[in-house]
Amino acid sequence: MVEQFAKRPTAQLLGRDRTPGRIFDLYDDPSTPEVYVDGVNATLLGAAVSKIDFHVAVSVDLSEPAPVEIRQLKLRVVIPTAALIEYLGAMLSNLGSNAEPFLAALDQQKSVLAQQLSFLRAQDATKQHPHGQPATDPEQPAVPE
């Protein structure tokens, strides 16, 4: 069966490892689903297996005093706990060794968001009331000119 999978025309070797205890070949499968999620909802760690629940935000309920995000469970992954721990260690190690580019990318995203918010604030400040007066924040007292 292994040879049959590896010889498929669509099988593409993604990686191989020959480290003792980690001897494997990893092949791509075009039918592997790719699922977008907004976040992790819950994690259940067990001795043998762990479960991770992922959610997507589907709407916002504005009928409450504060807006309530409505989330839908999108995916539950069941993974051997040992494999999860190995993954977390590798992820943290990778993050640590790539901290500078990662932090630079976060700073760039922060800068772009700040520019967008500044633009939106400027647009909001130029809006006019029906009587031609500039819009003001109802929480701030009017300042005479």
Distance separating alpha carbons of residues 93 and 87, to the nearest angstrom: 10
Average the pLDDT over each of 73-87, 91-105, 122-136 and give the range with the smallest value: 122-136
Per-residue pLDDT at 60 exceeds 50? yes
Helix (H) or strand (E) holding 56: strand 49-61
Per-residue pLDDT at 134 exceeds 90? no
pLDDT tens for 8-45 read 767 788 999 999 988 999 888 888 899 999 999 999 99
Distance separating alpha carbons of residues 114 and 108, to the nearest angstrom: 10
pLDDT tens for 94-120 read 888 888 888 888 889 998 888 888 888
Find the helix packing angle between 99-126 and 81-97, rounded to 10°: 80
Per-residue pLDDT at 80 exceeds 70? yes
Distance separating alpha carbons of residues 86 and 94, to the nearest angstrom: 12
Domain ranges of the chain: 1-32, 33-125
Chain centroid offset of residue 99 CA: 18
118: which 2 tokens?
Answer: 């500044």
Average the pLDDT over each of 9-23, 41-55, 69-83 and give the range with the smallest value: 9-23
In this prediction, residue 119 carries a pLDDT of 85
